[in-house]
Amino acid sequence: MADEIRKIANLRTEASAPDLPGRVQNEEFVFDEMIGAELVQEVCRHKDIRSVEKLFSLADPIMISGAGDSQKALLTAMAAKGDSPSIIIVPSQKDVFRWEMDLRFFAPDLHLYYFPLVEETGFNVTFSGTERLRDRMKGLAGLLDGHRAAVIATVVEAAQKIISPSGILENLMTIHMGEVIEREILVGKLIKLGYERVDQVERCGHFSVRGDIVDIFAINESHPFRVEFFDDEVDGIRVFNEDTQRSIDIRDDISILPAVIRGERSSSILSYLNSGRVFYDEPQRCEEELKKYFHEEAENKEKAFDWAGLVKTGRSGRKYRNREILFSFLKRDADLFKVKETATWKGRTMVNYQRQISLFFNDLTRLLKEGWSAVILTPRRSERKELEQYLSDYHVPVSQKVQKGKVTLYNGVLSGGFELPDAKMAFITAGDIFGKQKARRYKAGGKGKQIRYFSDLEPGDYVVQRVHGIGKYIGVKTIELEGVHRDYITIQYAGADKLYLPMEQIASLEKYIGPEGQTPALHRMGGAQWDKVRRKAKKSIEELAEKLLAVYADREITEGISFLPDTAEQREFEDTFPFVETDDQLEAIQAVKRGMERPQPM
């Protein structure tokens, strides 16, 4: 079964070649990818640390107390040294982000997956986006693959009742070269699997038929594939780019997972782990978050296991029982898991110096004189230069490798620093020295009010659909088509026109934004009004582009004043700003600074 699952899912993310060997970088950020793994080995050289590491070879549940946030990732990297997969269950989505950051540093070769939450609407179980279904299947496949991987999931996500591993295979369709199958039968199977027939495939969950060619964008594939027929025989299977329509690979067979999975939901994600370990981050908080989820809606109790039920699913039918690690200090957790071994981790969370530079270097110098080694981490080029200058100014001994009495400066990032007295090692982040950066998450793509989830919409909201223009959201309607029930978003247009949009295409909608107090006129489906608006906008953009090109051409040949890059004092001043800037504000600020630093006028 694992071989089949591994075959149908893209288990490994295709990584672009880095600019330097073992290093990922861009204009401002740079990461030494394997440094974290080397530091884990350095930590494990110390006798007192090895005593904790030996506990991980035991099959009985283990409870470790005293570990701070990023220290848990270090311990997980120590425990996950083998070739088996792991599941990490955390209280909240914020913890998922933190764990991801810290594990990418300490275990860079560990393949990380997510397990996004299922959203249910109406008759069918659907997903709020095809990307979520793809992420979910990759996570499950990563576990069944049996190799070095980890799935990070919130407790609510992990507790969801899902189909069993064998149930996934029952929903699987495979097409082989030379197979004889009538196109009408293939079309019927695709519809039953929840795929939508369109004129041209553009996204996961689509398929199209053109003569002897059937294009299918399987939910478990990164690109669509083209099945070519000679009469009723499969004569060719080619993977192609959905944008250029050019072939990029040839296959002997292809497996298709359903866009809507049906079947009894009596398992959890823990049922997919045949060996390896389950890490529970603060079990009490996990249990509290699960209780909150049940309290929000009564029906949630039918969708998910309770805390004790979730733990039980991870123990039934597993090849190696009870291979669990708890990051906790509560006796009640030890009793629930029947913990046999406990350990106290002697780690201290690093003090945040909030740019008290003299105080920091006084403490650092004291540690170095006591025989400690220190690792300072920053992903920013500008911060590294600043730190190098400070190390020179304060006459701090520096080494290229970890060494007692010296500081090593690496390109990397952790959620927070810490001290290990047993190893006499200090992990220090730039945030510990200069103050924590305000939390900012940059989004790729457009800046519009894109609708991603069903909960973003309220009946009566005005929306803009890419093809048909402005309409009004009415609600969700369940429609039966060839024996299959599916949920559709209903949008009212001018007159009696209505658009029934499949739930998985919700990302093609944007909320209408217009003058306050004015109600927009609805467009007519198939009418010329929306096309006219788009043509007018396109013309205005082209005219503006011509003007901008002329302006920028003049600037390139004119000499101006070049300002110096930001100094430490400038950044310190900016850090006192009490509000978190929006993505657009940050982008505008950086654009202005880049323009001021150039020798040409802005």
pLDDT greater than 50 at residue 409:
yes
State yes or no: pLDDT of 579 exceeds 80.
Answer: no
The per-residue pLDDT for 7 is 44
Ranges of CATH 2.40.10.170 domains, the chain: 454-527
> Is residue 575 pLDDT above 70, yes or no?
no
Q: For CATH 3.40.50.11140, list the domain ranges present in the chain.
A: 349-434
- Among 108, 96, 89, 86, which residue's Cα sits nearest to residue 38? 108
Selection from 225, 227, 202 nearest residue 213 by Cα: 227
Q: What tokens appear for 337 in the block?
A: 């898991």
Residue type, 369: K
pTM, full prediction: 0.67
Return the minimum-mean-pLDDT range out of 80-84, 179-183, 310-314, 447-451: 447-451
Q: Which of 513 and 506 is assigned the larger pLDDT?
A: 513
Q: Going by C-beta distance under 8 Å and a sequence separation of 6 or more, which residues neighbour residue 557? A: none
Q: Are 99 and 112 in contact (CB under 8 A)?
A: no
The length of the chain is: 602
Distance, in Å, from the CA atom of 218 to the CA atom of 201, rounded to the nearest integer, reads 10
Counting Cβ atoms within 10 Å, is residue 95 exposed (0-12), middle (13-18) or buried (19+)? buried
Whole-number Å distance between alpha carbons of 342 and 333: 12
Q: Which range has the worst mean pLDDT, 137-146, 282-291, 538-547?
A: 137-146
Number of Cβ atoms within 10 Å of the Cβ of 230: 10
Distance (Å, whole) CA 106 – CA 529:
56
**The pLDDT of residue 441 is above 70:** no
**CATH code linked to domain 174-256:** 3.30.2060.10
Q: What residue spans of 238-314 are helical by DSSP H?
A: 283-296, 300-303, 307-313
- Report d(CA 36, CA 77) in Å as an integer: 10
Phi-psi region of 178 (alpha: psi -120 to 50; beta: other; left: phi over 0): left
552: CB partners within 8 A, 6+ apart: none
Q: Given pLDDT bands bounded at 50, 70 and 90, which one contains residue 436?
A: low
42 Cβ partners below 8 Å, 6+ apart? 402, 425
Q: What pLDDT score was predicted for residue 329?
A: 78
Q: In angstroms, rounded to a whole number, what is the distance separating the alpha carbons of residues 387 and 170? A: 58
Among the residue ranges 227-231, 339-343, 469-473, 598-602, the one predicted with the least confidence is 598-602
- pLDDT score for 21: 36
Residue 552 predicted with pLDDT over 90 = no
Half-sphere exposure of 241 (CA within 13 A, CB side): 6
Mean per-residue pLDDT of the chain: 81
Give φ, ψ of 288 to 5 degrees: -65, -40
Give the contacts of 575 (CB within 8 A, at least 6 positions apart).
355, 434, 435
Picking from 120-129, 183-192, 233-242, 254-263, which range would have the lowest pLDDT averaged per residue?
A: 120-129
Alpha-carbon distance 536 to 541, whole Å?
9
Residue 585 neighbours by CB under 8 Å, 6+ apart: none
Domain with CATH 3.30.2060.10 in the chain: 174-256
> Can you tell me the distance from the alpha carbon of 540 to that of 544, in angstroms, rounded to the nearest whole number?
6
Under 8 Å between Cβ of 131 and 60? no
Task: Report the C-alpha gap between 103 and 266 in whole angstroms.
Answer: 31
Residue 340: name the closest of 360, 322, 316, 315 by CA: 322
pLDDT band at 102 (very low <50, low <70, confident <90, very high): very high
CA distance 384 to 568: 11
Say how far apart CA 377 and CA 316 lie, in whole Å: 42
pLDDT band, residue 158 (cuts 50/70/90): very high
pLDDT tier for residue 136 given thresholds of 50, 70 and 90 = confident
Percentage of the chain modeled with pLDDT above 90: 35
Most confident listed range (159-168, 300-309, 494-503): 300-309
Instruction: Kindly report the number of other CB atoms within 10 A of residue 4's CB atom.
Output: 16
- For 241-245, 276-280, 570-574, which range has the lowest pLDDT when averaged over its residues? 570-574
CATH of domain 2-20+34-167+264-345: 3.40.50.300
Closest CA to 396 of 356, 369, 417: 369
Residue 476, helix vs strand vs coil: strand
Range list of β-strands (E), 282-381:
324-327, 341-344, 348-349, 373-378
Residues 219, 224, 228: CA angle, nearest 5 degrees = 125
What pLDDT score was predicted for residue 239? Answer: 94
Which fold is adopted by the domain 454-527?
Thrombin, subunit H (2.40.10)
Is pLDDT above 90 for 135? Answer: no
Residue 374: pLDDT band (50, 70, 90) is: very high
% of residues, the chain, pLDDT over 70: 84
User: 115 with 153: CB under 8 angstroms?
Assistant: yes
349-434 has which CATH code? 3.40.50.11140
What is the strand order of the sheet 462-465 is part of? Answer: 498-502, 484-492, 469-481, 462-465, 509-511
Q: Quick check: 18 pLDDT over 60?
A: no
Question: In 3D, which of 467, 465, 453 has the Cα closest to residue 199?
Answer: 467
Question: H-helix or E-strand containing 162?
Answer: strand 162-163
> For residue 496, what pLDDT is reported?
84
The pLDDT of residue 513 is: 82
Distance CA 126, CA 408 (A): 50
Residue of higher predicted confidence among 206 and 19:
206
Average pLDDT on 6-21 reads 35
Q: Between residues 234 and 382, which one has the greater pLDDT?
A: 234
More confident residue, 582 or 117: 117
Report residue 222's pLDDT band, with 50, 70 and 90 as the boundaries: confident
12, 24, 111, 131 from 15: Cα distances, Å: 9, 11, 12, 18
Q: How far apart are CA 274 and CA 317, in angstroms?
A: 8
Distance between CA atoms of 408 and 387, rounded to whole angstroms? 11
Predicted pLDDT at 122:
36
pLDDT band at 568 (very low <50, low <70, confident <90, very high): low
Of the candidates 523, 475, 471, the residue with the CA atom closest to the CA atom of residue 503:
475
- When pLDDT is cut at 50, 70 and 90, the band that residue 13 belongs to is very low
Residues of each domain in the chain carrying CATH 3.40.50.300: 2-20+34-167+264-345
The pLDDT of 190-217, averaged and rounded, is 90
**477 confidence band (pLDDT: 50, 70, 90):** confident
Rounded to the nearest 5 percent, the helix, strand and coil shares of the chain are 35, 25, 40
- Statement: residue 252 has pLDDT above 60: yes
Residue type, position 541, single letter? I
